[in-house]
Amino acid sequence: LGFDYGYSITRPNTLTIWEAQFGDFSNGAQIMLDQFISCAEDKWKVMSGLVMLLPHGYEGQGAEHSSARLERYLQLCAQYNMQVVNCTTPANFFHVLRRQLKRDFRKPLVVFSPKSLLRHPLCTSTMEELASGEFQTIFDDENANAKQVKKLVFCSGKLYYELLQKREELKDNRTALVRLEQLYPLPIKQIEKLIKKYDVEKLIWAQEEPENMGAWSYLLTQLRAYPLELISRSASAATASGSSKDAAIRQAKIIDEVFKS
């Protein structure tokens, strides 16, 4: 990681990508993140366009294969020092990488992405979506009727597709599912616009991570003015269960909880 970080500084017009086979690979590189990647611009006015690809998603493969410690990166974010995203479409992933080089400045980009979306039948984009447009920081629910919606649910990553499938099974038209594609900088104006659009009493942040992890604590500080509720795994010492059966039960519980009245 240190080598790629240095390369990104000396070759700013090259798209430099460091990929962790699993999210926990970055745990051993924490010094590079804390001392250089997150704060070098503030300390030494050194800019970097390094991209870090971190697999992240609760797919029943155990603690070290589930979480890239999203909460740690969000704690390092301030003064527009980095970008943290969790893309849910191929087009949005392409455009966020394209944005790295099209901009006239450089910022580190941290991409959290579930491996299962590589094969998910709903996770697709058209050639037109790839060829035109730009990176979307947030996706509104195109299928929701604002007049019928009673519950607005914000989420990110692959959990969206699981919630979408459950909503279709239940034929639920009272729940809107909004995806946060960019977690930092948080698109607060767009979020507030959607909250005003749906005008509901029930605002939920749903996440796969335990309560003491993920984006929950960060969002609480960013959206203090709103009565945001949490649906997640219970607080835990480990990022995820080592049992695939236990993981499936916990995941189903989160999904069911979202659609309770």
Residues 69-113 have pLDDT tens digits of 999 999 999 999 999 999 999 999 999 999 999 999 999 999 999
Residue range 178-188, pLDDT digits in tens: 999 999 999 99
Q: What is the mean pLDDT of the chain?
A: 95
Q: Are 215 and 71 in contact (CB under 8 A)?
A: yes
How far apart are the two ends of the chain, measured CA to CA in Å? 46
User: According to the model, what pLDDT value does residue 21 have?
Assistant: 81
Query: How large a percentage of the chain has pLDDT more than 90?
Result: 89
Distance from C-alpha of 33 to C-alpha of 84, rounded to nearest angstrom? 13
Residue range 113-158, pLDDT digits in tens: 988 998 999 999 999 999 998 999 999 999 999 999 999 999 999 9
Q: Are 176 and 37 in contact (CB under 8 A)?
A: no
- Asked whether residue 261 carries a pLDDT value surpassing 70, the answer given is no
Work out the burial of residue 236: count CB atoms within 10 Å of its CB; fewer than 13 is exposed, 13-18 middle, 19 or more buried. middle
Distance from C-alpha of 75 to C-alpha of 73, rounded to nearest angstrom? 5
Which H/E stretch holds residue 65?
A: helix 63-66
- Asked whether residue 196 carries a pLDDT value surpassing 90, the answer given is yes
Tell me if residue 174 falls in helix, strand or coil.
coil
Distance from C-alpha of 37 to C-alpha of 48, rounded to nearest angstrom? 8
- Asked whether residue 242 carries a pLDDT value surpassing 90, the answer given is no
**Range of weakest confidence among 47-56, 114-123, 138-147, 196-205:** 114-123
Tell me if residue 165 falls in helix, strand or coil.
helix
Q: What is the mean pLDDT of residues 163-176?
A: 96
